[in-house]
Chain A
Amino acid sequence: EVQLVESGGGWVQPGGPLRLSCVVSGFSVSNYWMSWVRQAPGKGLEWVGNIKQDGIEKYYVDSVKGRFTISRDNPKNSLYLQMNSLRAEDTAVYYCARDFLVVSVAMFFDYWGQGTLVTVSS
């Protein structure tokens, strides 16, 4: 059974850092692109960024470029999101998801975790 389990969410002050983790079971992350997607309270879904199997090629949405970094540890079957310089507008549930690659960088998400809530507030 495929499972993605996020952790590391919580309350953080504006400007602070937070690191999220996603531990995967049921497949090997080394074979897949992986993404982070977030959802502000009561709002829609926003893709944050993703990372290729080799951990080198990465893409981010403009609003987090330079502040967020995605990384992975294939032997630990895990994905990470390092968030720095957090803002109130980063408050959201953060999901990790497995990317289904169609061609080039065209990908959708075929498995999702349950999410972890990040609250940025003073």
Chain B
Amino acid sequence: AIRITQSPSSLSASAGDRVTITCRASQDISSYLAWYQQKPGKGPKLLIYGASTFQSGVPSRFSGSGSGTDFTLTISGLQPEDFASYYCQQYYNHPLVFGQGTRLEIK
């Protein structure tokens, strides 16, 4: 199975900051990577797929990049509602695998 290593596991930042979360795949997955946001007690919400394509309704301060094995999610100008957990997911093949998650906390 493809392994996904996500970092950092937690991150403290302030409103208005720019933050970057990274996922690395154990093999080439082309652009078959999605990003999700999850708030406590809720199901995850799709943010980005195809490594860089926005899901409808996602604010433009979120951006994704990368291909092959290295991917990043960047949030520019953090808003209070952005403090949540974030997960990447590879969908190159089965089993579908998520990164370990990044908890974004208010500094």
Residues of A within 8 A of B (CB): 4, 35, 44-47, 50, 59, 61-62, 95, 97, 100, 102, 105-115
Contact = CB atoms under 8 A, between A and B. Distances in A.
B98 interface: yes
What is the predominant secondary structure among interface residues of chain B facing chain A?
Answer: loop
Q: Is the interface of A mostly helix, strand, loop or mixed?
A: strand
Contacts of B32: 102, 106
Nearest to B100: A44
Nearest to A49: B95
14 contacts: A44-B98, A44-B100, A45-B87, A46-B98, A47-B98, A59-B94, A95-B43, A100-B49, A106-B92, A108-B96, A109-B34, A109-B36, A109-B44, A112-B45
Nearest to B31: A102
